[in-house]
Amino acid sequence: MVSKIVMLIVFFAVTVGIGIYCRAHATNVNGFVLGGRNVGPWLTAFAYGTSYFSAVIFIGYAGQFGWKFGLASTWIGLGNAFLGSLLAWVVLGRRTRLMTQHLQSSTMPEFFGKRYGSRSLKIGASIIVFIFLIPYTASLYNGLSRLFSMAFQIDYVYCIIAMSVLTAIYVIAGGYMATAINDFIQGIIMIGGIILVILSVLKINGGFMGSVTALANVPGDFPGSFASFFGPDPFGLLCVVILTSLGTWGLPQMVHKFYTIKSEHAISHGAIISTLFAVIVAGGCYFLGGFGRVFTDALNVGANGIPAGGYDAIIPAMMSYLPNILLGVVVILVLSASMSTLSSLVLTSSATLTLDVVKECFAKKMSDKKQVFVMRGFVVVFIAISAIIAIVQYKGGITFIAQLMGISWGALAGAFLAPFIFGLYVKRTSKAAVWTSFIFGTGIMVLNMAAKQLFPVWLQSPINCGAFAMIAGLVIVPAVSLFTKSPDKQLVEDSFACYNRKVTTIAKDSLGEND
């Protein structure tokens, strides 16, 4: 117990210390929200990765999908690495950095407003961001509940409060730069922690081969289904890969990382670092979760085939076999994952509300200093709201972590993914098409949450519905653009002018004009 407490104290002291150290970088809007657009590849890559993977992944998704798909759930982690990380950096990184700087936009809603010349789009996107980031943020806390109770035997509410206060301190003090540096440290903890946990858990059942053999003997749809290449439900697996991989392309807190990139070097190197991080952390989490059914002795599995404590009980049950010191490492790992994602979410939400709603609608002449002050206030408000929801949810046991995240990701990515990508690449994209995507993406997820019975069986899951919303958006936006009013030609040309700006480079990167 002493060693676990010491680790927590050191962890908290470092995070708060970094926030105080970075306060000089957060004196204006550009510094507080974007780190001065001067963040290097390592910090950007780790900020992207740690914002991507939280306690929702480690406890909720790894447990639930490892139980459903077995060892094949590893494909989800690999999809996150190569579709959600590598391809996202290649397709979005450079163009996002160029156009957002050219349009002087600091948030995704502000990008929509300036790219499509619409104040209403900007405000509408801001409202969507605020509403649908709340359930995601609340789910971050819940991922810690069982592990924290197991490790420290104290009421989990205290963990929620401590995590909220500490995150608020370093985000308020140091803004984006404090978040990025803490993300780097927390990312290293996540990498080391997941490797140690995997090795220790596999050792319990005789190593890798022994664990795979035990998993192959678990009854399923066909002999060895949970140890097979694509598992018992390939279609369901594909939907999860789409939601958790392609979804990041439309999440404001993820895309925001590309706004801050320092240079071309940071983009190319950041893409590789981010991908390797995702392979280890996401691939490791889902690989670990795939062995959940081997530990049924520690789970009270009901007649419906689901553990009595829900899917969120699976990973904590596996962790109960670990030595105390390693359990302490796991708590720090999950705490790191949760705090890094929480800081990214609250910074995104507070910046959006301040710059895109308060300043736009109520105080157009707000000074730079006042904007930073208001953003800091909204950080407190947003963290407080999500913490209250998490406590109520924890006491009432309302829903599973994965469903909360599915609703949030589905609505945000379903609304924003297509308009953002086409906004960067296609001049013909219309304002009406963007509104259609907003309404369809959020509408279908709200309807799915309120009246599942109206949907066909394969769309009743918020996971599948979210994946469908994203894919549908990629069809809806170009289709609606073809039959609606074209955007203002001058506005479009001004937006895309940044891509034609001539730059010089050194010989090792280009042979010159005649190459």
- Residue 349 forms part of a structural domain: no
- Residue 454 forms part of a structural domain: yes
Cβ-based neighbour number of residue 84 at 10 Å: 32
259 and 100 in contact (C-beta within 8 Å)?
A: yes
- Distance from C-alpha of 172 to C-alpha of 28, rounded to nearest angstrom: 12
Closest CA to 46 of 283, 275, 331: 275
- Residue 461 forms part of a structural domain: yes
Q: Is 514 exposed, middle or buried (0-12, 13-18, 19+ CB in 10 A)?
A: exposed
- Distance from C-alpha of 306 to C-alpha of 314, rounded to nearest angstrom: 10
- Distance from C-alpha of 510 to C-alpha of 488, rounded to nearest angstrom: 36
DSSP state of 389: H
Whole-number pLDDT of residue 143? 62
Structural domain count of the chain: 1
- Residue 508 forms part of a structural domain: no
Q: DSSP H helical segments within 353-461, as ranges?
A: 368-396, 401-425, 431-450
Q: Which domain holds residue 219?
A: 2-344+369-500
60 and 207 in contact (C-beta within 8 Å)?
A: no
Whole-number pLDDT of residue 362? 82
Q: Which two tokens stand for residue 473?
A: 């958006």
- Residue 373 forms part of a structural domain: yes
CATH of the domain at 335: 1.20.1730.10
Long-range pairs, 452-461, Cβ under 8 A, ≥24: 458/235, 461/236, 461/239, 461/406
Whole-number pLDDT of residue 515? 42
- Residue 493 forms part of a structural domain: yes
Residues 6+ apart with CB under 8 A from 162: 12
Angle between the N-to-C axes of helices 462-482 and 234-246, in degrees from 0 to 180, rounded to the nearest 10: 60
For the chain, 515 residues long, give each residue's pLDDT as a single digit of tens.
Answer: 677 778 778 888 888 899 888 887 788 888 888 887 778 889 989 989 888 887 778 887 888 899 999 999 999 999 999 999 999 999 999 999 999 999 999 899 999 999 999 999 999 999 999 888 877 777 777 666 666 666 667 777 887 888 888 889 989 988 889 888 988 998 898 898 899 989 998 998 888 899 999 999 888 777 788 888 888 889 889 988 988 898 889 999 899 899 888 877 888 899 999 999 999 999 999 999 999 888 887 777 777 778 877 787 888 888 878 887 787 777 788 888 788 888 888 888 888 888 888 888 888 888 888 999 999 999 999 888 888 887 877 776 655 554 666 688 889 999 999 999 999 999 999 999 999 999 999 999 999 988 888 899 888 888 888 889 999 999 999 999 999 999 999 999 999 999 888 877 765 555 455 44
Closest CA to 360 of 346, 344, 345, 374: 374
Residue with tokens 């690495």: 81
- Distance from C-alpha of 423 to C-alpha of 148, rounded to nearest angstrom: 43
- Residue 192 forms part of a structural domain: yes
Whole-number pLDDT of residue 51? 85
Burial readout 328-363 (b: 16 or more C-beta within 10 A, e: otherwise): bbbbbbbbbbbbbbbbbbbbbbbbbbbbbbbbbeee
Whole-number pLDDT of residue 514? 45
Whole-number pLDDT of residue 149? 65
**Residue 209 CB-half CA count within 13 A:** 0
Q: Is 210 exposed, middle or buried (0-12, 13-18, 19+ CB in 10 A)?
A: middle
Q: Which two tokens stand for residue 462?
A: 């918020």
Whole-number pLDDT of residue 56? 74
Total H helices, total E strands in the chain: 23, 0
- Residue 363 forms part of a structural domain: no
Whole-number pLDDT of residue 271? 92
